[in-house]
Structure 1
């Protein structure tokens, strides 16, 4: 394993925070969305499974690479609990372990650190580069970012070896979802390529998992043609209805936390509706996406560094009107 750092830096911690207004905005939007549905899934976190859900865990110091992803107890006990909960419930209740991965360092992350938060958000993020670094549109991974993804590959292999019953498939996800931005797809590829057969598991590229949309050129995706050319030959599948050009990115408006969390919730609704038998899921996305995912499933805010990963044990109850 390389020595690349995946612990969150001060900018990561800043970007992960959710204030009360964000929560209120999301809840208002969620209630309106629910009112248009005949049924929906309501999410919460099962406590005592992963250290990251414990409020006493310091996100600035926690290193999941050295903490077996933050498990409390053993993987055998956790998976036994997961299977027991799913086997003892009806169709209106599901439990899943979701590994929420952030892409490795991208060139936009490099520029963000170079210029600082204010200058980045107010000026540089709206450009495609500075003459030295190119970050837009659709920022690519740096060499460090690639090595961070490979660190995850290494630690996944180690966790399989460390299972008491030596069952290599015990904690391997059966469902793979990924943002359409190149840095996330590349991170998923370098993380999983020789652990699973990507052409068999067919990771699904979906718009709902993408980074906060608008203004920042790094968050404008490539065309469908480019994504298809680069990734479908490696096993990735593009979701139906995926537009040729990025129809969501706007130069003059950036998505709010509440809007993004609602978008994420819609992705989760689709996941729990369409994949009831997939108990372990891998979602590779972005810092803003993970912030919204944690909000949507009722988890505490938790900073994840570039290339980092946070597992969550989610309980979903189907509410029918």
Structure 2
């Protein structure tokens, strides 16, 4: 189930000694070319996952009310108050960063181990028993992990004794275009909200680290549209028919992925000023980049896992 992360999850979540610096160097150059941009930081003392002393290898958010250090009423009141008192160049949001449930590529990764997976098996579509590329589906365990999150969300909503349960429910949903993330969103939220009404938006920039690993190549737009638009999903403007970002011979770096995640977060803050609680469903690599961009400590998230982050964004203007 969606409990503590595995050793592979912890390994994959951590940054190398140069990853963060490379991202910051490239970001500084990018920001100098913009008329304005948002800078992000974590509001401290809200969730246990942001504390240095929280052991990511043992922490189970399912048993910890998502990691809250205060009541939901106190947290949502703080969120509303900060936004009410903020200037037009300040914005506060809570992001629920969800990782897709176990996919068949995760099953294969565990089967062969990190070295063999990265050096050989990840470049194939399968091994004759498991098919993991391109765009693999969720395993039965992956589906149950998403459903487990749904059960916890329902419990948290019913535990909010103020009667203002809508205050801790996201008002916007964004998702990676890879099937495992979209299906995770469906199995997590489908019984809680009307997906045709909230219309989750499929965004290219939320996808996993791309290149080399066949599991990270997405389906054509027509396939995604046929499968998911009838369920209420929207596909962002400019979404190409074929996957133009995946390359067989080049794997995206952490810095490169973090820059596109930054672009995604800039877009969310610019286009959704009134939405203060937002759900993002993506991948382990995407969450690693999101935490880096938001100024959060590295924190491993297991398959089907979720991590909330209370974010302050400040808009800077270049003269």
* Helix, strand or coil at the partner of 1:195: coil
Contact 2:195 2:231 survives alignment (8 Å): yes
- Between the aligned partners of 2:19 and 2:158, the Cα distance in structure 1 is 41
- Alignment partner of 1:57 is 2:59: no
Q: How far has the Cα of 1:90 moved from its partner?
A: 1.4
* Helix, strand or coil at the partner of 2:63: coil
- Alignment partner of 1:112 is 2:109: yes
Aligned positions, number: 318
Aligned to 2:216: 219
Per the normalisation by structure 1, the TM-score is 0.98
Per-residue Cα deviation, 1:37-75 (whole angstroms, up to 9, x for no partner): 100000000000000000100000000000000000100
* Helix, strand or coil at the partner of 2:297: coil
Contact 2:2 2:305 survives alignment (8 Å): no
Contact 2:98 2:304 survives alignment (8 Å): yes
Superposed structure 1 runs of 4+ greater than 3 Å apart: none
CA root-mean-square deviation:
0.6
* Helix, strand or coil at the partner of 2:257: helix
Q: How far has the Cα of 1:122 moved from its partner?
A: 0.1
Q: How far has the Cα of 1:247 moved from its partner?
A: 0.2
User: Unmatched 5+ residue regions in structure 2?
Assistant: none
- Alignment partner of 1:17 is 2:14: yes
Per the normalisation by structure 2, the TM-score is 0.99
* Helix, strand or coil at the partner of 1:169: helix
| Aligned equivalent of 1:166, options 158, 163, 168 | 163
Contact 2:93 2:310 survives alignment (8 Å): yes
Aligned to 1:286: 283
Q: How far has the Cα of 1:167 moved from its partner?
A: 2.5
- Between the aligned partners of 2:4 and 2:224, the Cα distance in structure 1 is 29
Per-residue Cα deviation, 1:168-209 (whole angstroms, up to 9, x for no partner): 312100010000000000000110011111111110000010
Contact 2:100 2:304 survives alignment (8 Å): yes
Alignment of 1:126-205 (within 5 A): 126-205=123-202
Per-residue Cα deviation, 1:233-269 (whole angstroms, up to 9, x for no partner): 1010000000000000000000000000001000000
User: Unmatched 5+ residue regions in structure 1?
Assistant: none
- Between the aligned partners of 1:5 and 1:177, the Cα distance in structure 2 is 20
